[in-house]
Each structure stands twice: as C-alpha cells, then as structure tokens.
Chain A
Amino acid sequence: MNNVVKMILTLSIIGVVSGGLLSRIDNWADPLIAANQKAQTEEAIFKVQPEAQNYEPVNIAGIEAYKVSDASNNPLGYSLVYSGNGFQGKIRLMIGLTSDLEKITALEILEQVETPGLGTKVTEDPFRNQFKGLETLPQINWVKGINPSHPNEIQAITGATISSKAVVAIMNVGILKMRKLQKEGKI
C-alpha cells in the first residue's frame, strides 16, 4: 500500500513540475514562433511582387491570398498561397499575379518534400524564372524536351517531370479559383 502511494505521488509530482515548466516556456516561445511565421509569409509575399510596398489579406474563407499595392496604394496584383500534391507530399506555393490575373509576376516554393537533387530542382532559379511574365490564359501548359513556343508554356525539368507537372497543376487550380472569385466580384 505504502509503495502504491509512493508510485502515484512520484509520477504526479514529476508530471506537475514538467507541466508547469513547459507552460512557462511555451508562454515565452509562442509569440516568437508566431512572429517567425509571419515574417516568413511577409518575405514571400514581397518576393513574388517585387514592386509591392503594402499588402492586405483577402478575407475569404478557403483561400489564402494577399492584395498588394505600391507605395501610393495603387493595386499591383495578388500574392496567392496555394498547395497541392507533389511527387512525395504536399507542395505549397506563393504565386504572384497581376491584378487582371492574366500574368504571373513570380513564383516561390514555400514548402515541399520532393526527392532531393531531382524534384527539389523546382525550387531553383532556372525553373522558377520561367514563370516570370508567363501568361495564364487559357491555362499554364508544360512541354518536355523542347523549348516552349507559346507565352503560356514552361519546360518541365528532365528527371523531375512529375514535380514540374504538379507545380503547374497546383498553379492552374489556384488561379482558376481566383478567377472565379474575381468574376463574382469578391476580390
């Protein structure tokens, strides 16, 4: 009996002490973690909209987008966060769009778990720079092995076709959603 009481008491004390300690540390760390995440998002918003100075979030459920404007508040376009399936897991993109949603300003990859050395090439400049000034109408297409001949085409990476296709597909779905919202006059 004595032993049982001792067992319960020991575990309870350890639990209470570690719980208290963790809550103190969490109180300290939580605002810092939130600030880090905000800084990361902000950096990406401006990376895909190089001329932008200000941004405000678009308040529509189900979509994460930011309306960006220059120093004198003239609207420049949107930074759209959209994710979908890649080769091995989720790919999360930040897509810079002009106000009429017809052209892409730039593309950033926020998160991906593609194959190192192959699929991860989608995060590198040669691939991403293809999207600068790319037309989105009627949709983005990809070609393989040949140079793109239309203003809405990009070249897929050899050895990482699935990852390249996935990026294009995610962008198309995201832009389509934005276009629908714009037609309804919501953004």
Chain B
Amino acid sequence: MVKQVPLSKEFLKGLWEQNPIFKQVLGMCPTLAVTVSAINGIAMALATTFVLVTASLLISTIRKLIPNQVRIAAYIVIIATFVTIVDLVMKAKFPELSKALGPFIPLIVVNCIILGRQEAFASKNTPFRALLDALGMGAGFFIALVSLGGIREIIGSRTFLGIQILPDAFEPWLIMILPAGAFLTLGLMLGFANMYTDRKKRIEKESLIEQYKRVSKVEISMAQEGI
C-alpha cells in the first residue's frame, strides 16, 4: 500500500486538525496540572516533545523487529528510558524547573499522547514520517499548553513569562491558578475550538448545497433549451 498523505500534512495535522489537546483530548493530566504559568507549560511541552520524538524515531526504526504480542511492553520500556533521561538531566541542570514540575516529569511515561502516537502511527510508518508526526504532535501540545498556561498566568497573577503585563489595579483572579481555573480555561478553549470547527463545516456544507443548486438550475435550463 502506498501512502497518499503528503509529508507536510504529516507535520501540520498535529497543529490543529488532530491537535492532541483540542481535538484528541489526550494527556489531560499534565495539561491541567502544570499550566499555572506559561513557563511551566513550555517546559512540560518541550520535555514531552523530546520523549515523543525520540521514542517515535526509535520505535518506527525497530517496528518490524518487535513481535506483536509484546509491543506495548517494549514501547513502555523505551518510553520510560527516555523519560528517566529527561528527569535526570532536568534535575542536574535545571533544578528550579524540575522542582516546579514536580512529579509530572516522571508521569510523562503514562502520558497517553506518547503511547497513543506509537500505537497509532510510529508502529506502522517509516522513521521519517514518524519523526514529522511526532514533531507536529509535540508542536500542537506546545501551542495548547502555552496558550492555556499563558491565559491562566495573565489572569491569575497578572504576568506573562514572569513579566507583569496587567496593571496593579487589576485584581488577580486566584481561581485561575487553582485547579478549578484549569478546568474552566480548558473547557472554554475546547468549546471555542468546537464552535469554530462546526461553523467552518456548516459554511462548507452550505456552499456545497448552493453549488449543487446552481449546477442543477443550469442543467435544467440547458435541458429546456435543448427541447
């Protein structure tokens, strides 16, 4: 079977069309937990993307060597190895960040974006396509986490990336940096994303109907003229 999907699509689909957060709703636990600030979102997304890319590359390279029955176990060991590497490097080089993200770095192991992409994509495609897919999914995750963290940080503590951008007169909404704020923000973002998609679909449908109507009118008139 020859793949018909163009390479650029392999990367771009992760950004919006199949965005892991807004469309696939995967990896909710780290998404909700760490996004109290934009910088936390960036760090989490980068760590996850690193694991996703390396694991996808490796797994798609050796996909034909892994027997089908033990594939999940093999994936988990490979993913866990990369996660532990990230955790150790972060602890050694960025102790502050590692403290802020706490237990959520080790928990990347069970982030369903990663296992999901291995099972759905990397195990069936060539390394190059798997790399593009992983980068796209990572970028989509990054966009979602940074916007979520950014909104919560701006409203919850008046700052963005640690720089104050709202005046002191604005009373920060504490709820935005509490867990409830994560649910509120994510819920609204998902809602708006769905609204946008629905509207686009409706417009497409209507224009299609219009087109058919026009075509059939022309056909009718042509038929009449023919008579």
A, B in one complex: yes
Contact across chains for A7 and B177 when beta carbons are under 8 A apart: no
| Per-residue interface assignment for chain B, residues 19 to 41, with 1 indicating a CB less than 8 Å from any chain A CB and 0 otherwise | 00000000000000000100000
Quick check: is B70 within 8 A (CB to CB) of the other chain?
yes
Size band of the A side of the interface?
20 to 34
Contact across chains for B66 and A10 when beta carbons are under 8 A apart: yes
Quick check: is B93 within 8 A (CB to CB) of the other chain?
yes
Contact across chains for B70 and A10 when beta carbons are under 8 A apart: yes
| Per-residue interface assignment for chain A, residues 86 to 102, with 1 indicating a CB less than 8 Å from any chain B CB and 0 otherwise | 00000000000000000
CB-CB < 8 A to A7: which residues of B? Answer: 67, 69-70
State A19–B69 Cα separation when bound (angstroms).
22
Chain B's closest residue to A19 (CB) is B81
Total inter-chain residue pairs, C-beta < 8 Å: 62
Contact across chains for A117 and B91 when beta carbons are under 8 A apart: no
State the majority secondary structure of interface residues on A: helix
Contact across chains for B85 and A33 when beta carbons are under 8 A apart: no
Contact across chains for A18 and B36 when beta carbons are under 8 A apart: no
Quick check: is B7 within 8 A (CB to CB) of the other chain?
no
State A29–B88 Cα separation when bound (angstroms).
6
How many residues of chain B are within 8 Å of chain A by beta carbon?
Answer: 26
Contact across chains for A115 and B92 when beta carbons are under 8 A apart: no
Q: Using a CB-CB cutoff of 8 Å, which residues 135-181 of chain B contact chain A?
A: 156-157, 172, 174, 177-178
Contact across chains for A14 and B78 when beta carbons are under 8 A apart: yes
Seen from chain A, the residues whose Cβ lies within 8 Å of a Cβ on chain B are 3, 6-7, 10-11, 14-15, 18, 21-22, 25-26, 28-29, 32-33, 36-37, 40, 115-118
Seen from chain B, the residues whose Cβ lies within 8 Å of a Cβ on chain A are 36, 65-67, 69-70, 73-74, 77-78, 80-81, 84-85, 88-89, 91-93, 95, 156-157, 172, 174, 177-178
Q: Which 7 pairs from chain A and chain B are nearest by CB?
A: A18-B81, A32-B92, A29-B88, A29-B92, A117-B174, A36-B95, A116-B177
